Structure 1
Amino acid sequence: MQNKGAVTEFILEHYRHFNSAALVDAAVAYEKHLAEGKKMMITLAGAMSTAELGRSLAEMIRQDKVQIITCTGANLEEDIMNLVAHSHYKRVPHYRDLTPKDEWALLEKGLNRVTDTCIPEEEAFRRLQKHVYDIWKDAEDKGERYFPHEFMYKLLLSGVLEQYYEIDPKNSWMLAAAKKNLPIVVPGWEDSTMGNIFASYCLKGELKASTMKSGIEYMTWLADYYTNNAGDQGIGFFQIGGGIAGDFPICVVPMLYQDMERTNTPFWSYFCQISDSTTSYGSYSGAVPNEKITWGKLGIDTPKFIIESDATIVAPLVFAYLLGW
């Protein structure tokens, strides 16, 4: 085990029971998983990029603590929005007290609220739009097709956004991922702001939908990735939140085993979910990990952890442990 810093020492001293103990157990098992030479996927749901998870996730990427990420389209773009428009964000700590009229007033100011944080439409969405459109159009003119994250990588690596940077670039997880060409899977990208913008260009006849690779192509790509990287031990699965960011990629294992009849496909070899979704009738996000055994996703002996807490608190602490902070 590498030397540990003050944050980790605090965690080990005080986090001894209940969800705090689960946090430590999950972090220790994550570290063991990597030490055994196995790869780890992190999945990002919710608004983790707007929560500035990049402050710790970017370093996780740089230090090879994660080998592949699955995220929503919102998380893909919102990290870049924070990179170029941070000073224009507005925090609303009293968001619970807002009336419908208050919310409308925010909309009229071009402020789109995510809990206590408002994303500035003009400085964030529109600032990116004109540049990413050029990259979409250039690819289409050349008869080329790419995944959503590959277009974002091209945007970041082109340097065209550097004029707008408003945070230390080391805190952008997307920039760190682009520099490493980290594999990313973005299921349901169409429901993101950039996905909506791309669709609007298709409706206007300015772009073709086929220029953007699809969710089915992401799934088939992931099937090949898992086959080529899981070996006989499997890949780990660290799920932040619920929803499609977790649901989509975890299905690749039963698909390979059952539908492709590759019966030597190993289960996911580690599973942890940070979620505030409590177990309830029909809730997949709130399902206990053992339910996934019945779907052919996890094995009997797969290390399984669930931390029922706020991911914006828990994830940076787990990452701090892994980074030796």
Structure 2
Amino acid sequence: MSKARGPISQFIEKNYLHFNAAALVDAAKGYEAHLDAGGKMMITLAGAMSTAELGISLAEMIRQDKVAIISCTGANLEEDIMNLVAHSHYKRVPNYRDLSPQDEWELLENHYNRVTDTCIPEEEAFRRLQQHIHKIWEDAEEAGERYFPHEYMYKMLNSGVLQQYYEIDPKNSWMLAAAEKNLPMVVPGWEDSTMGNIFASYVIKGQLKASTMKSGVEYMAYLADWYVKNSDGKGVGFFQIGGGIAGDFPICVVPMLYQDMEMENIPFWSYFCQISDSTTSYGSYSGAVPNEKITWGKLGIDTPKYIIESDATIVAPLVFAWVLEQ
């Protein structure tokens, strides 16, 4: 029996018939079929998807259990929360292509950090989080406890200390939805983020120990344990938004378990889709076609594979709308 579809899905099905539009529909239908067969899905977030306010659609995906685990960059981890607490202070620069070096310098002098057409306000976003997260890091260290980067963020969100600052509807924050569910997460290369840099500065100043933050190696071990426990039956799919470490890090867990842990029955990822504007080029992994992953023991010959070469800020909400039957 076909599902009752909302207007967005009806529009997609009627109009998106060829090329990347058709790939979007195929991938969305594949995502839905994977879940309907009892499979689980990992979503990986690279680029500035949180600043692009992907939370408007991703938070609902989390609430409706359409995603079982997330891998994201440290920037995406924090930038969704920054948008939650400082939205009115963001500055949009539609003519960003016309900015001169002097214009860019003036944005810096005014404490704005630009991501394409959107400027993040340093004082209201970074510093507002810093004072609260620093206390949580300190309290953990004093208690002799260690946590992952995302666990500290969950503690901060679930404590309610940020509610006084909320500037968007909380239902549009994917991190808030994830914290409420205690959604499994890996944040590879977290040090490459504003909060990661701030934490490193406290370590350099001797105010915090590096060991108070669990490491990337521990994230890989955590992911390995999660994958073993969740890959039976239909298995785990891999929905990759952008390229980079958010995707490269978690996809390797399968060959690691098979080759290095000698778990010969570990299943491949059972669905693969990448939304990327990275074209296939010289040695680029972000731009590699999915079949290359077969040679690395990540995907099987029969794994459903999709690649949508387009802007993820346009494509991902449409795929999510299909999966949510909107």
User: Which deviates more from structure 2 when the two are superposed, residues 225-234 or residues 155-164?
Assistant: 225-234
Equivalent residue letter for 1:199 = A
CA distance in 2, matches of 1:267, 1:2: 29
Q: Say whether the 8 Å CA contact 1:146–1:211 is kept in structure 2.
A: yes
Q: What is the CA-CA distance between 1:174 and the residue it aligns to?
A: 0.1
8 A Cα contact 1:70 1:185, kept in partner: yes
Contact 1:54/1:79 (<8 A) preserved: yes
Partner SS for 1:182 = coil
* 1:51 alignment partner in structure 2: 52
Matched position secondary structure for 1:238: strand
The question of whether the paired residues in 1 share the 8 Å contact of 2:37 and 2:234 is answered with no
Shift of 1:232: 4.8
1:92 aligns to 2:93 (yes or no) = yes
Letter in structure 1 aligned against 2:215: S
Q: C-alpha separation between the residues in 2 aligned to 1:280 and 1:138?
A: 47
Cross-structure match for 1:11: 12
Residue 114 of structure 1 aligns to which amino acid in structure 2? Answer: V
Q: Distance in 1 between matches of 2:3 and 2:207?
A: 53
SS at match of 1:189: coil
- Counterpart of 2:74 in structure 1 is 73
Residue 201 of structure 2 is matched in structure 1 by 200
- Secondary structure of 1:236's aligned partner: strand
Matched residue, 1:275: 276
Q: 1 CA distance for matches of 2:313 and 2:207?
A: 39
> Which deviations, in whole Å up to 9, do the C-alpha atoms of 1:8-47 show, x marking residues without a partner?
0000000000000000000000000000111100000000
The runs of at least 4 aligned residues of structure 1 exceeding 6 Å deviation read none
Confirm or deny that 1:111 pairs with 2:112: yes
Cα distance in structure 2, aligned partners of 1:177 and 1:234: 21
Q: 2: CA distance between counterparts of 1:116 and 1:143?
A: 43
Looking at structure 2, the residues matched to 177 and 46 of structure 1 have their Cα atoms a distance apart, in angstroms, of 19
Residue 233 of structure 1: how far off its partner (Å): 3.8
Partner of 2:218: 217
Q: Deviations over 1:20-78 (max 9, x none)?
A: 00000000000000001111000000000000000000000000000000000000000
Q: By how many angstroms is 1:242 displaced?
A: 0.1
The question of whether the paired residues in 2 share the 8 Å contact of 1:233 and 1:266 is answered with no
Residues 1:31 and 2:32 are matched in the alignment = yes
Cα deviation, residue 2, structure 1: 3.2
Q: Distance in 2 between matches of 1:103 and 1:255?
A: 44
Q: Which residue of 1 aligns with 2:148?
A: 147
1:281 Cα offset (Å): 1.2
Cα distance between partner residues in 2 of 1:111 and 1:81:
13
Q: Secondary structure at the match of 2:274?
A: strand
Please report how far the alpha carbon of residue 324 of structure 1 lies from its aligned counterpart in structure 2 after TM superposition.
1.0
Contact 1:43 1:239 (C-alpha < 8 Å) held by counterparts: yes
Deviation digits for residues 209-238 of structure 1, max 9, x if unmatched?
A: 000000000000000000000015431000
Q: Are the counterparts in 2 of residues 237 and 272 from structure 1 also a CA contact under 8 Å?
A: yes
Q: Which runs of 5+ in 2 are unaligned?
A: none
Of 229-238 and 31-40, deviating more is 229-238
CA distance in 1: counterparts of 2:154 and 2:4, whole angstroms: 33
Q: What is the Cα-based RMSD across aligned positions, in Å?
A: 0.6
The separation in 2 between residues aligned to 1:138 and 1:249, in whole angstroms, is: 30
Residue identity opposite 1:54 in structure 2: G
Q: Distance in 2 between matches of 1:237 and 1:251?
A: 12
1:309 correspondence with 2:310: yes
CA distance in 2 between counterparts of 1:281 and 1:266 reads 30
Q: 2:38–2:233: 8 Å Cα contact kept in structure 1?
A: no
Between the aligned partners of 1:195 and 1:153, the Cα distance in structure 2 is 16
Match of 1:170 in 2: 171
Q: How does 1:184-195 map to 2 (within 5 A)?
A: 184-195=185-196
